[in-house]
Amino acid sequence: FPPIRRSIMSSAPQIGDRLTASWRDGSKHKAEIVERRPSNATSSRKGSGSGGSAKAAARTTHKGSSDRVKESDGEVEEAVKEMASDFAYYVHYVGFDRRLDEWVELGRLDLTTVEELPKSKSPGGHGRTRNNKRRPSDAHSSGSSDPAILKLEKEHEELTKVKNIGCIQMGEYEVDTWYYSPYPDEYCGVDRLYVCEHCLKYMKRKDTLAKHKKDCTVTRPPGNEIYRDQNVSVFEIDGKDHPIYCQSLCLMAKLFLDHKTLYYETAPFMFYVVAEIDPAGSKVVGFFSKEKHSSEGYNLACILTFPQFQRSGYGKFIISLSYEISKREGKAGSPEKPLSDLGKLSYRSYWTLILFRLLRESPDLPIEQIQSVTAIKQEDIISTLQHKDMIKEWKGQHVIHVKKSEVEAELKRIERSRVRLCNPDCLTWPVQGGGVK
């Protein structure tokens, strides 16, 4: 059924309503109201008198009946707008990732476009009302048809539907958050969280951070330094040996990752933290984690380049580092599934780059040998080449059909942007007496 368009005068926007909202750049997009809270402007209107409706009633005393109806309509509309402006609204932009969800004031909502779903009668006679819970997100789903997985996804989305921290201040960078993260309750609901860029301790107040920096003696991540190439360094950290640092890292990473649940149980994981080194110490750029013992053969559980360092080539660097470690372990690896939308793009780009560079020089290599050389699992090789229409089936086997012109064109496209890969000569792994046990 088509949505029922509601009159602007019927009520203020409610949770579950859809309407047109202005994005930060002024463009218009359909949005769904996920939550609402008292606006900061509400308190300033408290105690301002008896309100407009009483004054309006006095103004209509000597009006004719038709004039009173017209003025009454205007007063109702004004009252609805005033009531609606008492709230700030948390909106999800329909068709976009949840990282773009945000709190907005009434001025960014077009109340003339409010829609609600039609009420559907159930056998008991009860219909859906706009106070029902939010519809499952159409912008984020694993695509699974497993009822248990779908139930978990629904529960996860309900629990994490509203960001609990507005932004983080980390060194010189102020970074808007993307998603909910399960920080302790006393740190939730703040507009800004202050994070020490060296030890990752988090604080609610700027003056607390200033005091902390005077006493903090940490200048680099814990664990073993396993990579150094000019000012780029990598530290291998055992989650069992350094739980507080790894928990802080995971909580901060969760602000920028949606479907990852590694927060406090860090002991089964190794962490590989990438940092930029300067005279003041190290600045965390990103990281990946991996299970110490993965029955599925995953060589990476979680990957993130923090937003302030994105578009600098670190995504491919971190992925290439995970595969270089897999090569030294003597086995092929693959990232844990499902990947986020950004993770899919990063991996597809990396796999294409590595495979095309190899096939440009050796177009007749069989898939098994490509896996041996690159440590990329066969299923990832096949899916990447199928995406590029370079896999044919012959006598029940997958056969690579290299299109040289397309290979060259794709490599030129990828290499136009900065390509930063792990330099094997700079990697000291496994560490003597360390590594995965």
pLDDT at position 71, please?
56
How far is residue 92's CA from residue 32's CA, in Å, rounded to a whole number? Answer: 5
Higher pLDDT, 222 or 436: 222
Residue 295, sorted as left (phi over 0), alpha (psi -120 to 50) or beta, turns out to be alpha
For residue 320, give both structure tokens.
Answer: 């290439």
C-alpha count within 13 angstroms, C-beta hemisphere, residue 218:
16
Q: Burial of 20 by CB count in 10 Å (0-12 exposed, 13-18 middle, 19+ buried)?
A: middle
Task: Assign 80 a pLDDT band (cuts: 50, 70, 90).
Answer: low
pLDDT at position 90, please?
95
Residue 269 pLDDT > 80? yes
- CA angle in degrees (0–180, nearest 5) for 335-253-237: 70
Taking only Cα atoms into account, the Rg of the chain, rounded to an integer number of angstroms, comes to 27
- CA angle in degrees (0–180, nearest 5) for 83-89-93: 135
Q: Which residue has the tokens 């590989």?
A: 272
| Residues in CB range of 25: below 8 A, 6 or more apart | none
Which strands form 269-278's sheet, in the order they lie side by side? 224-229, 232-238, 269-278, 281-291, 302-305
| Residues in CB range of 122: below 8 A, 6 or more apart | none
Catalytic residue among 105, 236, 336, 410: 336
For residue 17, give both structure tokens.
Answer: 């309503």
Task: Assign 75 a pLDDT band (cuts: 50, 70, 90).
Answer: low
- Cα-based torsion angle of the residue sequence 412, 413, 418, 421 in order, rounded to the nearest 10 degrees: -70
pLDDT at position 43, please?
45
Residue 82 pLDDT > 70? no
C-alpha count within 13 angstroms, C-beta hemisphere, residue 224:
14
Residues 349-369 have pLDDT tens digits of 999 999 999 999 999 999 999
DSSP conformational letter for 417: S
**154: part of which helix (H) or strand (E)?**
helix 147-159
How far is residue 303's CA from residue 108's CA, in Å, rounded to a whole number? Answer: 35
| Cβ pair 209, 194 in contact under 8 A | yes
| Cβ pair 1, 128 in contact under 8 A | no
Neighbours of 21 (CB within 10 A): 23
Closest CA to 213 of 226, 229, 200, 232: 200
How far is residue 206's CA from residue 221's CA, in Å, rounded to a whole number? Answer: 22
| Cβ pair 275, 220 in contact under 8 A | yes
pLDDT at position 154, please?
76
pLDDT at position 247, please?
95
How far is residue 357's CA from residue 72's CA, in Å, rounded to a whole number? Answer: 73
For residue 218, give both structure tokens.
Answer: 């940490």
Check the CA dihedral 108-111-112-114 and report its sign: positive
**95: part of which helix (H) or strand (E)?**
none
DSSP line for 285-303: EEEEEEESS-TT-EEESEE
In sequence order, what E strands does 230-268 have? 232-238
pLDDT at position 29, please?
96
Q: Among 25-29, 79-83, 252-256, which is the least confidently predicted range?
A: 79-83
Residues 185-239 have pLDDT tens digits of 999 989 999 999 999 999 999 999 999 999 999 999 999 999 999 999 999 999 9
Residues 403-435 have pLDDT tens digits of 899 999 999 999 998 899 999 999 999 976 554
Closest CA to 236 of 251, 248, 221: 221
How far is residue 293's CA from residue 7's CA, in Å, rounded to a whole number? Answer: 59
Q: Among 2-16, 55-69, 266-280, 404-418, which is the least confidently predicted range?
A: 55-69
Residue 430, sorted as left (phi over 0), alpha (psi -120 to 50) or beta, turns out to be beta
Q: What is the mean pLDDT of the chain?
A: 83
How far is residue 197's CA from residue 309's CA, in Å, rounded to a whole number? Answer: 13
Residue 55 pLDDT > 70? no
| Cβ pair 231, 276 in contact under 8 A | yes
Residue 50 pLDDT > 50? no
pLDDT at position 85, please?
74
Residues 324-351 have pLDDT tens digits of 999 999 999 999 988 888 888 999 999 9
Residues 124-147 have pLDDT tens digits of 444 444 444 444 444 344 555 678
Residues 9-24 have pLDDT tens digits of 446 789 999 999 999 8
336 is catalytic: yes
pLDDT at position 433, please?
56
Task: Assign 103 a pLDDT band (cuts: 50, 70, 90).
Answer: very high
